Amino acid sequence: MAFWTKVAISALLLGLSAQAGVNAQQQGAMQPAQLIGSWKSPTGSCNPAYFKGTDPTKTVRGENALAATVVDKGMTVQGIVILQGAREGQMVNAMTDQAIFLIDLLPEKKLQLIPIGAPVLMWQEMTLEACP
């Protein structure tokens, strides 16, 4: 009886993970148009913008990406946001290929930045709003 319980639980978990994979594929890769422009913190201004996505580019690994700049507390961090593939949504240093932020597109033209690498590890997670 314990064997069939394990088989049933395994099948259930496999089915749930497969559905999650289908949902991720339906969402598709990030599009440059979704990130091009300026974004501000809820209490900040658009001049200078907290996050600014500019030109399509490629990573050192050949992945589609978008050049981006983040400005906070007098510090400017430049990098590229990976638009598709296993590292989709990571902002990385264009020279070292090291992750700096995780970027998530949220509903209502919002963007979430999660610091995950140097030099921003001490920064707070931030939800940004698109500048008009």
Q: What is the mean pLDDT of residues 48-69?
A: 94
Together in a domain, 9 and 66? no
What does the alpha-carbon distance between residue 79 and residue 65 come to, in Å, rounded to a whole number? 10
Calculate what percentage of the chain has a pLDDT beyond 70.
79
Together in a domain, 44 and 1? no
Structural domain of 6: 1-28
Question: pLDDT at position 22, please?
Answer: 40
Q: What is the pTM of this model?
A: 0.76
Together in a domain, 20 and 36? no
Phi and psi dihedrals of 6, rounded to 5?
-65, -40
> Of 28, 72, 63, which is closest to residue 80 (Cα–Cα)?
63
**Out of 14-23, 98-107, 115-124, least confident range:** 14-23
> Of 102, 18, 32, 104, which is closest to residue 63 (Cα–Cα)?
32
Overall domain count for the chain: 2
Together in a domain, 1 and 39? no
